Amino acid sequence: MHRNRIITMSATIILGLGSLLAVPSAYAESLQEMKDKKSTIQEKRTDVQSDIHKTESKIKHLESQQLTVEEQLDQLEKDMTANENKIIEKTAEINKTNAEIESLKAEIVVLKDRIAKRNELLKERAVSYQVSGGNLNYLEVLLGASSFSEFIDRVSAVATIVEADQDIIKQHEQDKKSLEEAQSAVEKKKSDLEKMLAELQEIKQQLQVQKKKQEVLLAELHKQKEHAEHDMVGLEEEAVNLKAQETAIAQAIQLEQKRLAEAEAARKKAAEAAAAAAAAKAKQASSSGSSSTSSSSSNEVVSAPAVSSGTFTRPSAGYVSSGFGGRWGKSHNGIDIAASGTVPVIATADGVVIRAYKSSSYGNVVMVSHSINGQTFTSVYAHLNSMSVSAGQVVSKGQQVGYMGNTGHSYGQHLHFELHKGAWNAAKSNAVNPLNYVSM
Ligand SMILES: [Zn+2]
């Protein structure tokens, strides 16, 4: 009896697999295709990983270049400050020297004026000697002496006066000469300072050119780094996507392999059963064992519903006691299926168990993720009495996930069944009416 049921379920799985099973080689081919696709994705991932490493080392290299340029810029900045200080210092010295030159010039002017006046005076005196006939005036002075001793005094006085005049002129000439020398020395100093200043200005310009160059280089390095970092973000995103694809394909392969094994087992069993039936018929033993299934509709154990040929199959036996939508002032995000007795609950489609746990509201609940023609669906089986699967497990359409129960926030035995187009979320925003997908 129990075996019969398995045979029935396996047979319906074969039916469910449809035309693919009719051509086993095509089936194997699709498995091979998936394996090929998986290894292509793995290769691509390896490429992306190596690109990530390359980009990382490129970024590191660019960063160290940036650091070098920044250090060079710092040094240039210091050089420029030092140079600027020197320029200020030299300019101040030049200004001071200019002031010195100006004051020397003024002194020279005053001295020249004094010399000119003195010369004029001496010339006048000389003219008066000549007009009165040489040293006559001096002679008169000398002859006017009343005594010899006075005469001697007068002689030396005249000599002293002449000598003094000449000394003054000499001294004046000397002062003028040294002032002129001082002036030319200061002018020489000024021209040296101006030369130095010109050199400093030249250095300043060179430093500015260097700084500009380094700044351009730094900007270019920044740009390159930005590009590399942008590439990095893209590569990392790609790596994550590829990993997700690889995982999905690995699960699909697992699923296909399981299907293949089950199909093969079912085929063998069916062949054995057919052979046994044929043998029995041949013996003409007139057995009455042709009615196969559901002799067990007693009030205890209920059979799982037959697996439908559609994408989704009904999750349990029973009647729909509550539909999808508003109920008691709040929305009902699934349907309730009620039945008494021991009622198996089955997966509505092929998929992977996301969660199998006990929640305060859902009670014992199983959530299964399905990928149907590229669209993700999530089915939820709540208030279960017990669960027979665990998270991460691959389940096929019709495979039992537990028994109907009354756990969690439930009043009376029923299955609360939800279907989400997309992922399950707490807001249940992806919930769809299961009755639009599953025939009950
Ligand atoms: Zn419900």
Cα–Cα distance, 196 to 205 (Å, whole number): 14
| pLDDT at 294 exceeding the cut of 60 | no
Q: Beta 344-346 vs 351-359: how paired, if at all? A: unpaired
What residue type is 295 in one-letter code? S
Asked whether residue 17 carries a pLDDT value surpassing 50, the answer given is no
* Ligand 1 center from residue 419 Cα (angstroms): 12
Q: In whole angstroms, give the CA distance from residue 28 to residue 221.
A: 53
Q: Going by C-beta distance under 8 Å and a sequence separation of 6 or more, which residues neighbour residue 1?
A: 295, 296
Task: Specify the pLDDT at position 340.
Answer: 92
Structure tokens at 34: 């998936």
What is the model's pLDDT at position 260? 79
Is the pLDDT confidence value at 47 over 80? yes
Longest dimension (CA), the chain: 200
pTM for the predicted model, two decimal places: 0.42
Q: Could you tell me the distance, in angstroms and rounded to a whole number, from the CA of residue 304 to the centre of ligand 1? A: 20
Confidence of residue 366 (pLDDT cuts 50, 70, 90): very high
- Return the higher-pLDDT residue of 92 and 248: 92
426 C-alpha to ligand 1 centroid (Å): 15
pLDDT digits (tens, 9 = 90+) for 150-191: 777 777 766 666 676 777 778 878 888 888 888 888 889 889
With a CB cutoff of 8 Å and minimum separation 6, the contacts of 412 are 338, 406
Rounded distance between C-alpha atoms, residue 294 and residue 4, angstroms: 9
Q: Give the pLDDT of residue 182.
A: 83
Centre of ligand 1 to C-alpha 317, Å, is 15
Residue 202 has pLDDT above 80, yes or no: yes
* Coil/strand/helix, residue 318: coil
Specify the pLDDT at position 219: 92
Share of the chain above pLDDT 70, in %: 82
User: How many A from CA of 297 to the centre of ligand 1?
Assistant: 25
Res. 288 pLDDT band, cuts 50 70 90: very low
- Is pLDDT at 57 greater than 50 in this prediction? yes
Answer for the pair 55, 281: CB distance below 8 angstroms, yes or no. no
What's the token pair of residue 260?
Answer: 């293949």
In 283-319, alpha helices (H): none
pLDDT band at 387 (very low <50, low <70, confident <90, very high): very high
d(CA 322, CA 203): 91
How far is the C-alpha of 235 from the C-alpha of 237, rounded, in Å? 5
* pLDDT higher than threshold 70 for residue 329: no
Mean model confidence pLDDT for the chain: 80
pLDDT at 16: 38
Buried (b) or exposed (e) across 128-150, using 16+ Cβ within 10 A? eeeeeeeeeebeebbeeeeeeee
Query: Rounded to the nearest 10 degrees, how much is the dihedral formed by the CA atoms of 314, 319, 320, 322?
Result: -140
* 102-116, 119-133, 197-211, 270-284: the lowest-pLDDT one: 119-133
CB 336 within 8 A of CB 315: no
CA angle in degrees (0–180, nearest 5) for 75-77-80: 110
Which has more confidence, 326 or 42? 42
HSE value, Cβ hemisphere, 13 Å, CA-based, for 236: 8
Q: How confident is the model at residue 360, as a pLDDT?
A: 82
Nearest alpha-carbon partner for 245 in 29, 420, 45: 45
80, amino acid identity? M
333 Cα: distance to centroid of ligand 1 (angstroms): 7
Q: What is the DSSP letter of 435?
A: G
Estimate to the nearest angstrom the gap between the alpha carbon of 416 and the chain centroid: 45
CA 231 to ligand 1 center in whole angstroms: 49
User: Which range is least confidently modeled, 78-92, 116-130, 249-263?
Assistant: 116-130
Nearest by Cα to 58 from 231, 249, 208: 231
Higher local confidence (pLDDT), 41 or 343? 343
Residue 238 has pLDDT above 60, yes or no: yes
Query: Residue 415 Cα, ligand 1 centroid: separation in angstroms?
Result: 7
Closest residue by Cα to residue 267 from 35, 27, 34, 2: 27
pLDDT band of residue 137 (cuts 50, 70, 90) is low
Neighbours of 20 (CB within 10 A): 14
Residue-wise pLDDT for 400-436, tens only, equals: 999 999 998 888 999 999 999 988 877 788 899 999 9
Give the pLDDT confidence of 65-119 residue by residue, as tens digits: 999 999 998 999 999 999 899 889 988 988 898 888 888 888 888 888 887 887 7
379 Cβ contact list (under 8 Å, min separation 6): 315, 347, 348, 349, 351, 367, 368, 370, 417, 418, 419, 420
- The H or E element that residue 424 is part of is none
Summarize the confidence of residues 122-134 as an average pLDDT: 59
Q: How far is the CA of 311 from the centre of ligand 1 (A)?
A: 22
Mean pLDDT on 28-48: 80
CA 181 to centroid of ligand 1, rounded, Å? 116
Domain 1-293 identical in fold to domain 303-440 = no
Question: In the chain, pLDDT over 90 holds for what percent of residues?
Answer: 25
Residues facing residue 145 across a β-bridge: none
Give the pLDDT of residue 215.
Answer: 92
Extents of the domains making up the chain: 1-293, 303-440
**CA 384 / ligand 1 centre spacing (Å):** 12
Which pairing describes strands 319-322 and 344-346: parallel, antiparallel, or unpaired?
Answer: unpaired
The DSSP code for 287 is -
Q: 303-440, what's its fold?
A: Glucose Permease (Domain IIA) (2.70.70)
On the 0-12 / 13-18 / 19+ scale of CB atoms within 10 A, 203 is middle
Q: What band does 291 get if pLDDT is binned at 50, 70 and 90?
A: very low
Q: Is the pLDDT of residue 8 over 50?
A: no
What pLDDT does residue 129 have? Answer: 52
Inform me whether the pLDDT recorded for 292 exceeds 50.
no
1-293 has which CATH code? 1.10.287
Ligand 1 centre and the CA of 326: distance in Å? 11
Inform me whether the pLDDT recorded for 2 exceeds 60: no
Which one has a higher pLDDT value, 225 or 138? 225
